[in-house]
Chain A
Amino acid sequence: MTNSIQEFEDADLVLVTGSNTTAQHPLIGTRIINAHVRGTKLIVVDPRIISLAEHADLHLRQNIGTDVALFNGIMNVIIAEGLHDRNFITTRTEGFEALKEVVNRYTPNVVQAITGVPAGDIIAAARMYARADKAMIAYAMGITQHTTGTDNVKTLANLAMLTGHVGRPSTGINPLRGQNNVQGACDMGALPNVFCGYQSVAVPEIRAKFETAWGRPLNDKPGLTITDMMSAALQGDIKAMYIMGENPMMSDPDTSHIERALANLDFLVVQDIFLTETARLADVVLPGAAFSEKTGTYTNTERRVQVAHAATPPPQEARTDWEIICSLSTHAGYPMAYDSPWDIMREVNTLTPSYAGITYERLEACHGLQWPCPTPEHPGTPILHRDKFTKGLGTFLACDFKPLAEVPDEEFDFILTTGRISYQYHTGTMTRRTNLLEREAPHAQVQIHPDDARRLAIRNYDLVEISSRRGTVRMQAEITDQVPRKVLFTTFHFHEAPVNILTNPACDPISKIPEYKGCAVMIRRIS
């Protein structure tokens, strides 16, 4: 997030898109509801009638995968009506003319035709967002899990810069991260192209710093993303894989492809707390420690680093991840002799400018610190891009609308979109072993609109079969008008109905995120 969680309470307007906030970030959802009760305007942009939409002053239900067109349309209205922030654009940004040229083509009527959102609502949303003094955008995987995910985010950034809703309290572009420490994992360099703190492997001075610290020459070529690794494994270019706390047999798109890729490896190691669908395929399984069994830090969606202490020791031979990695590294000929998470954090402090001042000593005495925090005295940074953008001027990167990689046709006539529900988490490795949560949500359901259900003679809770070009799964139908016509929504939590057999592995060209939010399927009742 460019801004902080508590700022939702003071915003004049919140625009939520691609986030089922009350279900997936309930405390942020409640802040938004509280703010709305006190008068904050709320715009929800989501094809589904999520529960936050019931509070919204305006709910735009765009066709799936048409986000760029919709937000270009909103910017078109803002520029046409002169509601853009000329001062901000002049002093803080570059590339406005190029943006204008692109969004000029996205008039409300054109956008209505693409997105299905009435032109009047597009105009209303544009006016509300641009006229608000402090407006926050919150988004989640509904924006990123598309072949145009990067374009979607760029377009939201264009919108915020166009109206000067950046760098001040209760403004900004605020991705709500999908897992409690995905921010921390990225910060620590669990990405193919950077060291910790997003320091590029391609920059010689940065590489030299890490080579000195670690006493080894380091590769200057970015590694592979998960999606690329799987293709490389299938082609035989990767021979061995070490998977930690990830269950690609359930979570990655086109499961059949993943299964073939993993089977083609010479050697697979999986480190996890339970024997997951992926761990079952491993040559070696390393038992890790669960969250309550290890001490360390988590970095949340507002870049706040917080310390958590082990409540119980790991069972039997399970060990914390850092201990396993150190031991493995030592056996492989590079001794790692850290004695504690404190010890590791001291190295993080020396090598990561944005974490330099985030020490355990400080974290133990407060409710966390938000990076960048470059010195031991620095109070942390609740708001990014205050006086200037990290790169200097903010560049408008105009994008054109591109349709879903797989659009429905006569045969596969529905769009399937996937997500999560409150009671289960991801591939269910933990939550499906929790009795109460399993009681709350024991099996997969697919949401279908009542009109579609009637046409296909599907009744509530009927067993249905959903097929895509890649496979078939069966699950229970839930008839609800929360989904638009010709759209199905389901989750990827249930191994009995592993929905990623269906999803399209087509990826965003830059982020390599697969298009989990839309693929073409057909559905029929099983009699």
Chain B
Amino acid sequence: MKRLAKKDLTSVLMEWAEHHALICPTRQQPGDIIFDAFNPETFILDYGKPPLSPKACFLPHSEVIFTVHDGAYQTVSSSDKRLIFGLRACDACGLQQAQRFMTRDRDDIYYQARWDTTLKVVVACSGPQNETCFCTTTRSGPIAAEGFDLQVYDLGDELLIEIGSEAGESLTIGRAFTEPDQKIASDALEAFCKRAQAAIPLKPEIKASIDALKTDSPHEVWDFLGRKCITCGGCAFVCPTCTCFNIYDQAVSAYTGLRIRAWDACLYGGFTREASGHNPRPSQALRLQRRHEHKLRYYHALDIGQALCGCVGCGRCSDFCPVHIGTLEVAQTIVAGGEHV
């Protein structure tokens, strides 16, 4: 455990930025908060829940994975030393789920290269960032249990720093970091965690929907939701655990070009459409069912770790779905069993 005066945080970040590509929450004009390159002018600590999780740091919205020059193939993978400051616990958990999924049974060198070269600093939540937070239900927050190099607890004027790895510890050797009194620090931490846990209400519909999905849910639920879904894919794009991607080629000439992988979403018809034109998930209802069953029913035990399921309770899908089909609303509909639909 280390201690850092909050007023020294910016200078510490500036130091870290000398040795790493530092990514942190920034406030852009006219007010949007996004994870972006550190700049003392735009960096903010009071950033709530950024609309986009930092998953793009590992699985960019689009990335070139190889190029072809005159018939010669060249892999493109990143090896920049990076540091992400300001992960929320839910995102740290979600990213770890995604990382396990992406590398568990295959060698995704593009993802893994970014993962291996990126240090992760979590900033624990002292309470819900808004009314859709439910990490206490999904066991993914408000404090990260693993998957960080450092975890920062904001105690007002001072920050307590939990060390999560050797690499993390080496970040805290500067003069700004001091050793706190262990007893006082652990009491303060315990109080912080207790208060934070208590402040984020449990959402019983999540657990209930997981139980309900152990047997098949009535198709009326999915038909109802499927008729409302506008297939924008926004829920998948804001989700820290969604990793669907597609690849496509851009030919520059007969022997020169590149291959790109880009975000995709299982909610799109073309995601499962076969070459013949046949689609095993021909309706939006079935595609929605598949997406939510992946989060709540068919997740892989190895991927989710200590968490409850394949959803980490960040609530972004409920925040941003323009037609209100986020995980919370889906769970409520499942629990209602299609009765009110």
Contacts and interface: CB of A to CB of B under 8 A. Distances in A.
B66 interface: no
A364 B270 CA distance: 39
B230 interface: yes
Interface string B252-267: 0000000010101000
Contacts, number: 43
B269 interface: yes
B246 interface: yes
Contacts of A37: 341
A27 B248 CA distance: 30
A436 B230 contact: no
A33 B324 CA distance: 13
A422 B268 CA distance: 11
B29 A27 contact: no
Nearest to B323: A30
Contacts of B174: none
A475 to B, nearest CB: 14
B322 A27 contact: yes
A55 B270 contact: no
B262 A22 contact: no
Contact of B268 (A29, A33, A51, A436): A436
A316 interface: no
B230 A29 contact: yes
Nearest to B227: A33
Contacts of B264: 436
Nearest to A435: B248
A461 B274 CA distance: 14
B92 to A, nearest CB: 27
Nearest to A37: B341
B322 A435 contact: no
A435 B270 CA distance: 11
Interface in B114-131: none
Contacts of B332: none
A27 B232 CA distance: 11
Interface string B298-323: 00000000000000000000000011
Given A436-B246, A436-B262, A439-B246, A27 B230 contact: yes
A436 B244 CA distance: 12
A132 B264 CA distance: 44
A5 to B, nearest CB: 12
Contact of B231 (A309, A422, A439, A460): A422
Interface string B268-286: 1110000001000000000
B29 A309 contact: yes
Contacts of B233: 436
- Contact residue range for chain A? 20 to 34
B228 interface: yes
A435 B245 CA distance: 12
Interface residues of B, number: 20
A223 interface: no
Contacts of B230: 22, 26-27, 29-30
Nearest to A461: B277
Given A30-B322, A435-B246, A439-B270, A55 B227 contact: yes
Mostly, the B contact residues are loop
B30 interface: yes
Interface in B206-249: 227-228, 230-233, 246, 248
Contacts of B227: 33, 51, 54-55
Contact of B30 (A33, A364, A436, A439): A364
A97 interface: no
Contacts of A33: 227-228
Contact of A440 (B248, B260, B268, B323): B268
Interface string B90-116: 000000000000000000000000000
Interface in B13-47: 29-30
A154 to B, nearest CB: 32
Interface string A30-66: 1001100100000000000001001100000000000
A37 B220 CA distance: 13
A486 to B, nearest CB: 25
Contacts of B246: 435-436, 439
Nearest to A364: B30
B223 to A, nearest CB: 10
Contact of A30 (B30, B228, B341): B228
A27 B262 contact: no
Contacts of A439: 246, 248, 268, 270
Nearest to B30: A309
Contacts of B270: 436, 439-440
Nearest to A309: B30
Given A33-B227, A309-B30, A439-B246, A27 B323 contact: yes
A55 B341 CA distance: 13
Interface in B25-77: 29-30
A417 to B, nearest CB: 23
B43 to A, nearest CB: 19
A184 to B, nearest CB: 20
Interface in A447-472: 460-461
A489 to B, nearest CB: 18
A312 to B, nearest CB: 11
Contacts of B29: 309
Interface in A17-32: 22, 26-27, 29-30
Contacts of B30: 309, 364
A294 B230 CA distance: 27
Q: Taking each of B230, B260, B322, which has the highest tally of chain A beta carbons within 10 Å of its own beta carbon? A: B230
Contacts of A435: 246, 248, 260, 262
A409 B216 CA distance: 54
Interface string B151-177: 000000000000000000000000000
A33 B230 CA distance: 12
A51 B29 CA distance: 39
A386 to B, nearest CB: 29
16 contacts: A22-B230, A26-B232, A27-B323, A30-B228, A30-B322, A30-B323, A34-B228, A55-B227, A435-B262, A436-B233, A436-B246, A436-B262, A436-B264, A436-B268, A439-B270, A460-B277
Shortest Cβ-Cβ A-B pairs, 4 listed: A26-B230, A30-B323, A439-B270, A440-B270
Interface of B: 29-30, 227-228, 230-233, 246, 248, 260, 262, 264, 268-270, 277, 322-323, 341
Given A27-B323, A55-B227, A435-B248, 16 more contacts: A26-B232, A27-B322, A51-B227, A364-B30, A422-B231, A435-B246, A435-B260, A435-B262, A436-B246, A436-B262, A436-B264, A436-B270, A439-B248, A439-B270, A460-B277, A461-B277
